[in-house]
Structure 1
Amino acid sequence: MKRSVCAINLIWLKTLLLFLVIAMTIKTGYAQNFEFPNNRKKDAINFILMKNLVIIPVFINEKGPFNFILDTGVGPMIISDPRISDSLKIKDLRTIKISGLGKGNEIEAFVSSSVNARIGKATLSHIPTAILKEDLFRLSSYLGIPIHGLLGYHFFKSFIVELKYSTKRIVFYLPSYGRKIKGERIPLELINDKPYAKIEVESPELGALTLKMLIDNGASHAVSLEILNKKPFPLPPISILANLGIGLGGPISGNIGRLPVVKIGTFQLNNVLTAYPKYEEVAAKVLLNDRNGNLGADILSRFDITFDYADNSMYLRKNGNFKRPFQHDMAGMEVYSEDTQLKRYFIGRIEPDSPAEQAGLLAEDEILYLNFIPSTSYTLTEVNKLFRDGDHKTVIVTVLRKGEIRIRIIKLKQRI
């Protein structure tokens, strides 16, 4: 049976309606902040950075650690891997039905307010939680390591959080700790437990625009633009058709182009890759009238960021990745891991008229060798990097298809 990988690029779109439903469904009388024991005021943990996403260890009901994506774009905690649910012995489960984005029917999830979470030394009892009945996101396949869920708002609102992409470390502390915050202050507006900021973009077609954007470090893309003046955001003159991810209800399609200029405060980034999802599959379904799109981790990871939700602000400092070029996949195909331990890699969806399609590769081909080196010698991050770096370079791909070994040559091309 054909399996498609769930792209992270528009992860917030896959979960937005879910969180809105839960916000209306879960009502508790418990404290909603993480707290330190005794008189502790500060803690720090290391994180894993994969595809610009921050992965942290989280203990749930004193079991774990489990790998969670720390995501400013989510409200309640999400357990996306249902296999861990039984061992957690979660009580007071209720079932809700969710209408998803993309092309598909509604799905079901459990909700509970009887879950305890711990990050470092900080704990929160009775954190509002959704438990998916099936692993719709397939985050483990996309990232190549086990991923069990997502967590965001309740952690960020409890502390001042320093997200140091440059050292892969998070420092979090109470406001009373008295630490001076460094960087340029960017005002935030919190709506439905999510942070929004104003950014400026410039293009020859539209001129200069000020846009209201969701600050979403749980989306691996740079920028996604969905709506302008209650209509689909205009496409740039040059763009390509692309698979932009999987919604709760199915595939999300659209285009990828480039914005000549994106400004956040006094910081300017040039030639920025930008996604334009189809309006009828996204904005029209969730009525995105309060924003134009979202700003993702391919931009945010170029800074060390301090979030101060209590002061409605974030502070930005450029890091060593600031001048990194914005690169799109030059092969035009998704690669996912069916078995993260054995490092078995498969081809997901292939974009029309892409180098991968022209080379004769097909969805569900299993990758055995890359340039005659066993695929097991690569991490999934290294596999994806191979297909993103090097315009006009060739990659020799050996695949297994229906029991037969085939060799194909991909000539990488910067298509946008």
Structure 2
Amino acid sequence: MLAKYKPGVIICLRKLSIYLGLVLLTFPGFAQEFLFKRNRQKQSIPFKCIKNLMVIPVYVNGRGPYDFVLDTGVGPMIITDPSIIDSLNFGKLRKIKVSGMGIESVDAYVSQSLDVKVGSASIKYIPTAILKEDLFNLSGHLGLKIYGLLGFSFFNSFIVDIRYSENRLIIYDRGARIKYRGKKIPIEIENQKPYILAEIDAPNGKTVEARFLMDTGASHALSLEMLNAAEFPLPEKKIKANLGISLSGQIKGYVGRVARFNIGSYVFKDVVAGFPDFKNIAGKIDLSKRNGNLGADLLRKFNIQLNYQNGFIYVKPNGFRKTPFEHDMVGMVLYLDQKTYKRVLIGEIEENSPAERAGLQPNDEIIGVNFKGINAYSLNDLTEIFKSKVDRTIILEIFRDNQVYFKVVKLEKRV
């Protein structure tokens, strides 16, 4: 049983948006790793930070670069767009079932014949799960063509220094001398994923020591899933919300706030947290090993050095440390169409949200924001605008049924 109660305090909780650390796959006995050429010891690699996720260039079988999400929440590499592999014959690949939060299992295919290169480091025969089609629609939700997720094989091969404040990471050969910075915190690597302990004030008035999957591939701050073999207590103030995407669509649940979250003696207050529907997820993922998921909206407040081999990280607060946690103040999901990746469409709309009250509807196309054409904004820009300031007025130009409408939305702090 996880998370024993300690004497403590109380209160409310938090948000999510894109949830990639879901896939439960294992490859028996794989020990392949990335290696530098010619005794190189380190390399700096820039990344794009989109909705808190790190996107890096990756070469597959000598071709690319292709944009991949760098994700501690997955084990083997996952290819979400198989078009990057010309010679792929699914009939000769082993079929497996992929399962995860909010999904029924779907088919994927196993390969250990791909060569991958990141910067000057490369790996042969990387264990890979290949989806026959992009069921995640990562590209549509991130606003950038995404081809897959890179996880354990990368992080286990190096000491990885993630500098969120600079949008770059530095990878070091494991034998290199490293100057560590900040606070040392132990982690456990289990089933190729890192877990970390933290203290959290639960809504029932207790301070809980809980175990979290440390997940750079989840754009939220916290997901609270289980406590003492039951659902995590819900805060008094909460809203129904779409918590993220999975292989089969939206993950449902609630969003609220946590009064206090303590990791490595660094304390965060009023953290937005998501509470996935417990009945839905309990049969899909093994909750016996964790209480929740620690995502990139909180992790990016540190620069982090990860050492998988020796089981620890170092964290040092950066310029994002004091940025308050905010949830989306509009209440709708945006994505790009999967054909051109240019049209911005509205997906689900949350109940009693500013979006619903403004008369917005699923499948509306947004063609302008505040009298500027939609091409002036990325999806990341719109995400930031929609959680920017309470009572801010946003004017959306909408195309629906061959007509143009203007809708006025007033941002509202709902949690």
Provide TM-score, normalisation by structure 2.
Answer: 0.92
What is the SS of the residue equivalent to 1:320?
Answer: coil
The corresponding residue for 1:60 is 60
Q: Which runs of 5+ in 2 are unaligned?
A: 1-15
Where relative contact order (Cα < 8 A, 6+ residues apart) is larger, the structure is 2
Q: How far apart in 2 are the matches of 1:356 and 1:392?
A: 13
Shift of 1:10: 2.4
Structure 1 residue identity aligned to 2:386: F
Shift of 1:99: 4.3
Q: How far apart in 2 are the matches of 1:327 and 1:70?
A: 24
Q: How far apart in 1 are the matches of 2:356 and 2:409?
A: 9
Over 3 Å counting, the alpha-carbon distance change for 1:89 and 1:178 in structure 2 is farther
Q: How far apart in 2 are the matches of 1:385 and 1:106?
A: 33
Query: Cα RMSD (Å) of the superposition?
Result: 1.9
1:97 aligns with 2:111: no
Shift of 1:396: 1.0
What is the SS of the residue equivalent to 1:286?
Answer: coil
Q: How far apart in 2 are the matches of 1:61 and 1:273?
A: 41
CA contact (8 A) 1:63 1:88 kept: no
Structure 2 residue identity aligned to 1:65: P
Write the mapping of 1:9-408 to structure 2, written as runs, cut at 5 A.
9-13=18-22, 15=23, 17=24, 19=25, 23=26, 26-27=27-28, 31-86=31-86, 93-102=93-102, 105-203=104-202, 205-338=204-337, 343-408=342-407
Shift of 1:97: 2.9
Structure 1 residue identity aligned to 2:310: D
Q: How far apart in 2 are the matches of 1:51 and 1:410?
A: 22
Cα-to-partner distance string for 1:314-345 (whole Å, 9 max, x where unaligned): 10001000011111110000111226966321
Q: How far apart in 1 are the matches of 2:246 and 2:338?
A: 23
Q: How far apart in 2 are the matches of 1:134 and 1:310?
A: 34
Q: How far apart in 2 are the matches of 1:267 and 1:407?
A: 45
Structure 1 residue identity aligned to 2:300: S
The corresponding residue for 1:410 is 409
Q: How far apart in 1 are the matches of 2:319 and 2:100?
A: 38
Q: How far apart in 2 are the matches of 1:95 and 1:246?
A: 23
Write the mapping of 1:1-16 to structure 2, written as runs, cut at 5 A.
9-13=18-22, 15=23
Shift of 1:256: 0.4
Shift of 1:98: 3.1
Q: Which runs of 5+ in 1 are unaligned?
A: 1-6
Q: How far apart in 2 are the matches of 1:42 and 1:100?
A: 35
Over 3 Å counting, the alpha-carbon distance change for 1:237 and 1:302 in structure 2 is same
Over 3 Å counting, the alpha-carbon distance change for 1:200 and 1:56 in structure 2 is same
Determine which structure has the larger helix proportion and give its number: 1
CA contact (8 A) 2:137 2:338 kept: no
Shift of 1:85: 2.9
CA contact (8 A) 1:58 1:67 kept: yes
What is the SS of the residue equivalent to 2:179?
Answer: coil
Q: Which shows bigger deviation, 354-363 or 398-407?
A: 398-407
Shift of 1:251: 2.9
CA contact (8 A) 1:80 1:135 kept: yes
Provide TM-score, normalisation by structure 1.
Answer: 0.92
CA contact (8 A) 2:203 2:235 kept: no
The corresponding residue for 2:9 is none
Structure 1 residue identity aligned to 2:353: S
Over 3 Å counting, the alpha-carbon distance change for 1:193 and 1:342 in structure 2 is closer
Over 3 Å counting, the alpha-carbon distance change for 1:88 and 1:287 in structure 2 is closer
Over 3 Å counting, the alpha-carbon distance change for 1:258 and 1:268 in structure 2 is same
Q: Which shows bigger deviation, 209-218 or 275-284?
A: 275-284
Structure 1 residue identity aligned to 2:157: S
Cα-to-partner distance string for 1:238-283 (whole Å, 9 max, x where unaligned): 1100011233244321000100100111111110000000011113
Over 3 Å counting, the alpha-carbon distance change for 1:224 and 1:341 in structure 2 is same
What is the SS of the residue equivalent to 2:36?
Answer: coil
